[in-house]
Structure 1
């Protein structure tokens, strides 16, 4: 059975309001990215303990750590970034999730972003080290196909998975991000990355790249959901609506727009009689 999750900081910076809206929408997991305007990797140990206790009390699990790992220039100091990865691993263990969302690096600072082959080798070198650490810690790095990082197109995502083949490195399918990169999420991206698919982000975008609720854009969400079910997908569908604001490091929707996005997804699932938790 599939499970619904969400980037709850898209609802509100306040954790209590995040929990209240998730509960009202019958969503029992969150992709923990932030609260109180603090990034998940910057929570203190005491804050993490408090968050875990509060989520447990309300029956909400953590589907993934929505980290910003890999969302830096490829020539940024790597030792410093590895320390951030180690913190992400610690957070994942505290929150009892095997998954950490991550990215595959921006081009070097001040360089031509249109020349990914120039920094491909360094991307792979860094990813291999990160994956080894994730494997040793028994967690899985989930790669998101974010615009302007190395792995933003279908071909470069496949390049990463083929060259980093490892159970600790798996794929997130984010249809809206592919649209914003001029790619076709379904069937093209789905078919190409399906061997590595472990997680799905739920947002849509129109042909011009403007983010919309799932089903209102060009991602062919209804067909994608039908195909996911036919192929036996039993992972998370994680809402990341971005309906009010979409910045480089986070998006925001607010409670009302978040509910609109949630209900758009749930109506499609109900129409096809696909049970979810």
Structure 2
């Protein structure tokens, strides 16, 4: 039986803190059987410490599955999103990671096709850089978790708009980071999204959610609570929520996707390793 590659999103361990200086926590994760990480820049790694981070991970026998950054591209007027993506591509190449995780952004007029065209122009030079570095840019689908997009202009929350975007960009170094729980929080039909987008997926984030009453506060303190407009959600143990994970995994397997699956249970720190183990077992048992 082939073991499916599973990694852990480093913010689950460190939040927005550094990797260096927290190596005991990293050793604990390694000893628990996890040897791959998604690192965030500039939080866990940046240009000033990438060599030291690489050496620390090498010494622990750990690898990097992806470099992520809070990199909105569309509607970001300062150019910071593009700079973050460019820096992440360089970091990913130096760390031996095959992909960088990015975000669409918002702004514009609410015309998804116009937004897609603008984004396609903006991402073009970054894709040239990624191609030269042997790195793939993946775009994560989002919902309005932080209240930045009350008009829901971020086209990544809609599967059909993402489907159009991938075909418009039309580049082998551009793929999707399929986050099924984010689609659920955006009000999308997750199974239909998986059926439509599975051939375009190059990375997967793994968590589960349930809908809760908007007025719920502190009902399950070991889990995170999110809102999207008037709707509220809470993370839960993988496989016990509203995300049809068995259908999602079947769709991905049907097109040959075999990892990595990056775990981000979004739970309280003292429950993290238990939930990572549950999530790993669920993925391995469902995909194998």
Q: TM-score range by the shorter chain?
A: 0.7 to 0.9
- Is the Cα–Cα contact under 8 Å of residues 40 and 69 in structure 2 kept in the other structure? yes
Question: What residue number does 1:250 align with?
Answer: none
- Given candidates 226, 234, 248, the residue that maps to 1:210 is 234
1:117 deviates by 4.9
Query: 3-state DSSP class of the match of 1:63?
Result: strand
Kindly provide the CA deviation profile for residues 115-171 of structure 1, in whole angstroms up to 9, marking residues without a partner as x. Answer: 545544322221233223322332110110012433121011111111011111011
Larger relative CO (CA 8 A, sep 6+): 1 or 2? Answer: 1
Correspondence 1:220 to 2:234: no
How far apart, CA to CA, are the structure 1 residues paired with 2:38 and 2:62?
11
Distance 1:261 1:132, change over 3 A: same
Which residues in structure 2 correspond to 1:181-196 (within 5 Å)? 181-186=186-191, 188-196=192-200
Question: What residue number does 2:180 align with?
Answer: 175
How far apart, CA to CA, are the structure 1 residues paired with 2:92 and 2:180?
25
Distance 1:75 1:93, change over 3 A: closer
- Given candidates 219, 222, 236, the residue that maps to 2:260 is 236
Higher strand share: 2
Question: What residue number does 1:107 align with?
Answer: 107
How far apart, CA to CA, are the structure 1 residues paired with 2:196 and 2:251?
14
**Runs (5+) with no aligned partner, structure 2:** 145-153, 213-232
Question: What residue number does 1:162 align with?
Answer: 167
1:227 deviates by 4.3
Distance 1:261 1:156, change over 3 A: farther
Question: What residue number does 2:94 align with?
Answer: 94
- Given candidates 3, 23, 27, the residue that maps to 2:30 is 23
Kindly provide the CA deviation profile for residues 86-119 of structure 1, in whole angstroms up to 9, marking residues without a partner as x. Answer: 21122111101120001112225xxx7x554554
Which residues in structure 2 correspond to 1:25-174 (within 5 Å)? 25-33=32-40, 39-40=43-44, 43-45=46-48, 47-69=49-71, 71=72, 74-78=75-79, 80-108=80-108, 116-117=112-113, 119-148=115-144, 149-174=154-179
How far apart, CA to CA, are the structure 2 residues paired with 1:48 and 1:218?
38
Query: 3-state DSSP class of the match of 1:190?
Result: helix
How far apart, CA to CA, are the structure 2 residues paired with 1:40 and 1:167?
28
- Is the Cα–Cα contact under 8 Å of residues 104 and 151 in structure 1 kept in the other structure? yes
**Runs (5+) with no aligned partner, structure 1:** 244-252
How far apart, CA to CA, are the structure 2 residues paired with 1:184 and 1:224?
11
1:270 deviates by 5.2
Distance 1:56 1:123, change over 3 A: same
Distance 1:191 1:18, change over 3 A: farther
TM-score (norm 2): 0.78
Kindly provide the CA deviation profile for residues 230-267 of structure 1, in whole angstroms up to 9, marking residues without a partner as x. Answer: 54322201012222xxxxxxxxx42x332232122223
What is the root-mean-square deviation of aligned Cα atoms in Å? Answer: 2.4
